[in-house]
């Protein structure tokens, strides 16, 4: 299991596929120290590790996010995670945008066929949800 951080958006976001509220956001673009980040706060608000591995409060207060990063949460698919793109100008997380069929882009490590399949998942599910309304 790789290291990651936890993320708490200011607002509850809904899955772009099924519409359910999302929680338990994680990401691997930040410091990956099992830190807990809250949108709008410069430093992590917690670190989910044992006391002997926890950073001292002064060191924790100096940890920052990169200016752009992605986070993910699992919802209605075993194959795909719901993703969100985030920005932290001045290293304070301020913006978040869910990845949808309309704004999805192919990842560097993602094969073209895999991107097409993910895009189809996002598109098909969104169409089905529109039909249900």
> Per the structure, how many domains does the chain have?
1
Tell me the mean pLDDT per 10 residues along the chain, length 133: 89 91 95 96 95 93 96 90 95 95 93 95 66 50
pLDDT of residue 125: 59
User: Is there a contact between 25 and 72 (Cβ–Cβ < 8 Å)?
Assistant: yes
pLDDT of residue 73: 96
Separation between Cα atoms, residue 60 and residue 128, nearest integer Å: 45
Which domain covers residue 119, as residue numbers? Answer: 5-132
pLDDT of residue 91: 87
pLDDT of residue 126: 53
Query: Residue 38 has which token pair?
Result: 């809250």
């Amino acid at each position: 299991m790789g290291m990651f951080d936890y993320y708490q958006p200011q607002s509850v976001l809904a899955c772009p596929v099924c519409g359910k509220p999302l929680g338990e956001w994680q990401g691997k673009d930040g410091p990956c120290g099992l830190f807990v980040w809250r949108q709008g706060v410069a430093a992590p608000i917690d670190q989910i590790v044992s006391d002997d591995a926890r950073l001292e409060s002064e060191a924790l207060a100096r940890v920052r996010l990169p200016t752009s990063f992605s986070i993910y949460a699992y919802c209605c698919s075993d194959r795909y995670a719901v993703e969100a793109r985030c920005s932290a100008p001045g290293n304070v997380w301020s913006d978040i945008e869910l990845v949808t069929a309309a704004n999805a882009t192919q990842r560097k490590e993602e094969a073209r066929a895999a991107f097409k399949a993910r895009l189809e998942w996002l598109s098909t599910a969104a169409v089905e949800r529109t039909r249900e309304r």
